[in-house]
Structure 1
Amino acid sequence: MDRKSFIKKSSIGLGLALVPNLATTQGNRTKKMVPADMKPKIVREAEGNVLNVIGDIQKHKLVGSDTNGQIAEWVNDVKPGVSIPPHVHTKEDEIFRVLKGQVEIMVGDTTTVLKPGDTAFAPRDVVHSWKVVGTENASMCTTAFPAGIEAMFEELGKLPSGPPNFEKVAEICGRYGINFV
């Protein structure tokens, strides 16, 4: 077999291996392998479950029950100076996208200030933290995957207002695989 034929045949095989639905749907592009309990969802800006998580006002837009456990997503509105101390997730990765204001974020060995439109990725098992800097509130859209962390935020949101009891916060977070460093 000459080189050109080999590349052509191996490319087709590789394409079929990487896109299995292409080989099985045979032109029926409307058939998808979606779990029966997962439905499309539209969430408007003003909608979502609002939680006050130790001063971090979060509006949960998508939770695990919406996404078959794949992702949870929330938007927050946080005052200058509010921060989350260095911690490590053992169960989920996170993506932070700044919508408004400025957020100093540390992921691993890198610390930078994110501005509107900037995004940071914090993989599980990598220490990270954030703090709102500047003079205006900041807003971030945070996505965690897989889902599950939203249950922790529900628990944290039920704690009494005022200065947080760090031992209680650490205990709750620890049950969800999040450890402060």
Structure 2
Amino acid sequence: MKRIAFLRTTLAAAGAVTAFRPLSASPALPADTDQLEPRIVLGDEGQRVNVLGDQMTFKLTGKDTAGQVTVIEEANDPGVMIPPHVHDNEDEIFRVLEGALEVTVGGETTVLHAGDMAFGPRGIPHSWKTVGEGKTRVILTAFPSGIETMFEEIGALPAGPPDMPTVFGICARYGIRFV
């Protein structure tokens, strides 16, 4: 792993928004972070979205970070899960704040508890399920940003049982496929 990529991953895992310049220009990542404005987000703030039962609160989005990172807090009851899937465009970090989250990344399954985290790099299958007796709270960090737009689109689908071919089609447009 290149040093700058390692530093970005490490800082993102710690909950920090990176201010490093990319090694090469990328349309998803600005070459200059001068356009960024400071932002403080309190615990009860953020845009709330229900994505097929996954209760999300967007804390930071691409609009806040010039496309660098999205930070989402998830708060779910036991049994909520996302089946195995692969991202083509973003890496994800899951950091458990409360409760227990069973995570499978690249074929390895473990149960994470408060303070634990997992890294799901793009191109590697991963899934998760809330386990245990109580609510699980997780901070999801995705970089670069953009995944929040997909979550908004899925969250806007009509109430009731989801039309999974429609959901899979939306995900595919954002470079996510279920395996």
Normalising by the smaller structure, the TM-score range is 0.7 to 0.9
Equivalent residues in 2 for 1:22-171, closer than 5 Å: 35-171=33-169
Task: Tell me by how many angstroms 1:165 deviates.
Answer: 1.4
Structure 2 residues without counterparts, runs of 5 or longer: 1-30
What residue number does 1:176 align with? 174
Which one has the bigger helix percentage?
A: 1
SS at match of 2:85: strand
Deviations, residues 94-133 of structure 1 (Å, cap 9, x unaligned): 0000011101000002000000100000000000000001
Structure 1 residue 174 displacement after superposition: 0.4
Please give the root-mean-square deviation of Cα atoms over the aligned residues, in Å: 1.1
| Structure 1: gaps spanning 5 or more residues | 1-32
Q: What SS is found at the alignment partner of 2:128?
A: strand
Q: Measure, in 2, the Cα distance between the counterparts of 1:100 and 1:161.
A: 28
- Normalising by structure 2, we get a TM-score of 0.81
Contact 1:54/1:161 (8 A) holds in 2: no
* Number of matched pairs: 149
Residues in 2 aligned to 1:61 and 1:68: alpha-carbon distance in whole angstroms:
14
Question: Match of 1:69, SS?
Answer: coil
Match of 2:151, SS? helix
Larger Rg: 1
Divergent runs of 4+, >2 A: 33-37
Name which of structure 1's ranges 158-167 and 95-104 shifts more when overlaid on structure 2: 158-167
